[in-house]
Structures are given as structure tokens and as C-alpha cells.
Amino acid sequence: MPLLSLQTPQSFDFDQCLFFLDRGYDECLYQLSGRSVLRTIECDGVLVPFSIIEKKGNLVIEVDEGITDEVQNLVLDYVKEWFDLERDLAPFYSLLNKSDQLKPLAENYHGLRLIGIPSLFEALCWSVLGQQINLTFAFKLKRRLVEAYGESIVFKGHKLYHFPSPKALVNLDEEYLKTQQFSRGKVKYIKNVAESFLKDGLSKSTLLKIPEFGERQMLLTNIKGIGVWSANYALMKTLHQPEAIPFGDTGLTQSLFNFGLIPDRKDEAAIIKFFKEMRGWEAYTVFYLWRSLAG
């Protein structure tokens, strides 16, 4: 099988990223096998599987025989975006190290990248699935949705699923999904997201053409079922938008409280004040605070 290679940047720790990615059976869109990650992406209607492993300061990516140079470049671009490889984290660590409370984040998780969700559609649907339920149950719902409506391919002995397309989810079977513990609201909101892509022309590229964060946020919150938390989560994970703080996230507020950064979990003014001090690195700060909850 052909091997592609990406040189890893400074302040990159593959093991830190693997720890974040390791969700066991819960995660259905990629699989870990030892120190390698396997997943598939879609290119022109065809699933393209690949695996990633780190060797001597490079991410080595193994792909199937016969794929074109163009598709190989798409895989490379996807991995760069997924692991946020082109970002210099030195200014972020410098900012964390100015605070005695935040220094442990830089020390304990050095090299962790903001692992993204390059697909805007997937990120929005995932934000809907995660609304008002615990993370473990959200992952179960995602697996049920993906296995029912997504496509799959076998690669190196692993069955790899790809997240369903808007076309696949726009006409969800509500009665079937009720038997899979989906609420009526979640089904309706996922349909709304799918319709916004199919009928209203929403796409990642259209979002990127909008210069202002507030306008991007408004475009997403115009979708019924997508509130500020969901919009900011998608902007954070898909575009790595620095300002995209998922305000109201219980894990975030708990972590801020744990580090003594806010006096009370309900103190919204203190939360806003804190993030003003992290300007330009708000999303990364959120991501590292989330990571701290796992120990």
C-alpha cells in the first residue's frame, strides 16, 4: 500500500492526541489499533480509507493502491486539518504559562492539538445529538445513526463508517429512531440541519466566505435547533474559530471552577472576563480545559 508522510510541527504529541481520540467502542467514525488511527473520508462519492501512525517526527499515512495524486492530496489536507497541524502553539503556551492556575494545562497536555471535525454537517449533527444528554449516551446515539444511515468500507480488517450525508438524513424515519431512543426533537433538528445544506445552500465553503464571527454564528443559529452553544461548538471544531466559546457547557464551567478561574459555576460575568484574557486562544483554552476533566 502507498505511504504518504506529513512532518509534524513543534509542540506536537501524537500520544496526547491518541488519548483524546480513544473513546473505545463509543466512537464509530474512526478506530484505534495500537498507536495507529484508521478512518475513511469521502471523495466524489467514493469512500477512501487510510491509517495514520507516527514515525520519527512524521505522520505516516497508508492508503489503498490505485488512488490518484489528487485524492492523496485530499487525504493529506484532511489529516492536517483534523489534527490542526499548521498552527504554531508557542504563543498559546506562553499565554498559559503567565498564569499559575493555567500552567498545569501547558505542562500536562503539551503537544495536544485541537482535534477537529472537518465536516461542518457532521459537527452540527453531533452538536444536536449531544444536547441535554450525557456524552456516553450521545456517542451511543451517534453510532446508531451512523450504522443505520451511513456507508462503510473494510480496510486492513476494520469496518470503517463514514458519517451520513445530508441527503441520507433529510428523510429520517422518526418511528424507527424512537425505538433507538431518539427524541422527536433530535430527529427534527437533524432534519433541519440536512435541509439547510440541501435547500438553503449552507456549506463549509459558504461559511468561510463570511468574514465576521458574529455573522457566521448567526447563519448557523438561523437553523431551528441550533443555538449559540451548538453554533459555537461547530465553529470551534470545524473552522478552529478562536472566539467560538461554547458558553453554558457544563464541562467547561466545571473545569473553570476546578482551576479556581471563576468563583461560581453560574458566574457568567466571570467567565466572559476570563476569556477576554485568552483572546485569540479561546477555543484552544476550552479544549484543554475539557481535556483536564479526563484526568
- The SS3 of residue 59 is strand
- Its pTM stands at 0.95
pLDDT of amino acid 188 = 98
- Determine which helix (DSSP H) or strand (DSSP E) holds 36, and give its type and residue range: strand 36-43
Give the number of other Cβ atoms within 10 Å of residue 235's Cβ: 24
pLDDT of amino acid 132 = 86
User: How far out from the chain centre does Cα 22 lie?
Assistant: 13
Give the number of other Cβ atoms within 10 Å of residue 3's Cβ: 12
Q: Residue 89 contacts by C-beta under 8 Å, 6 or more apart in sequence?
A: 10, 11, 113, 284
DSSP 65: T
Q: Which residue has the cell 473552522?
A: 239
Give the number of other Cβ atoms within 10 Å of residue 107's Cβ: 11
Residue 9, pLDDT above cutoff 90: yes
User: Which residue from 63, 79, 75 is spatially nearest to 17, judged by alpha carbons?
Assistant: 79
- 212 dihedral zone (left: phi>0; alpha: psi -120 to 50; beta): beta
Q: Which residues are catalytic?
A: 249
Residue 1, pLDDT above cutoff 80: no
Summarised one tens digit per residue, pLDDT across range 30-77 is 999 999 999 999 999 999 999 999 999 999 999 999 999 999 999 999
pLDDT of amino acid 24 = 82
Q: Residue 286 contacts by C-beta under 8 Å, 6 or more apart in sequence?
A: 236, 245, 246, 249, 252
Q: Which residue has the cell 489534527?
A: 83
Q: Residue 163 contacts by C-beta under 8 Å, 6 or more apart in sequence?
A: 29, 119, 121, 122, 125, 146, 150
Helix axes 228-239, 120-129, angle to 10 degrees: 140
Is the Cβ–Cβ distance between 19 and 74 less than 8 Å? no
- Determine which helix (DSSP H) or strand (DSSP E) holds 77, and give its type and residue range: helix 69-82
User: Which residue from 241, 283, 238, 242 is spatially nearest to 120, judged by alpha carbons?
Assistant: 238
Summarised one tens digit per residue, pLDDT across range 103-113 is 999 999 999 99
Residue 25, pLDDT above cutoff 90: no
- Confidence bin at 153 (pLDDT 50/70/90): very high
pLDDT of amino acid 230 = 96
* Cα distance between residue 103 and residue 288, in whole Å: 11
What domains are defined for the chain? 3-86 (3.30.310.20), 120-150+163-292 (1.10.340.30)
Q: Which residue has the cell 465536516?
A: 119
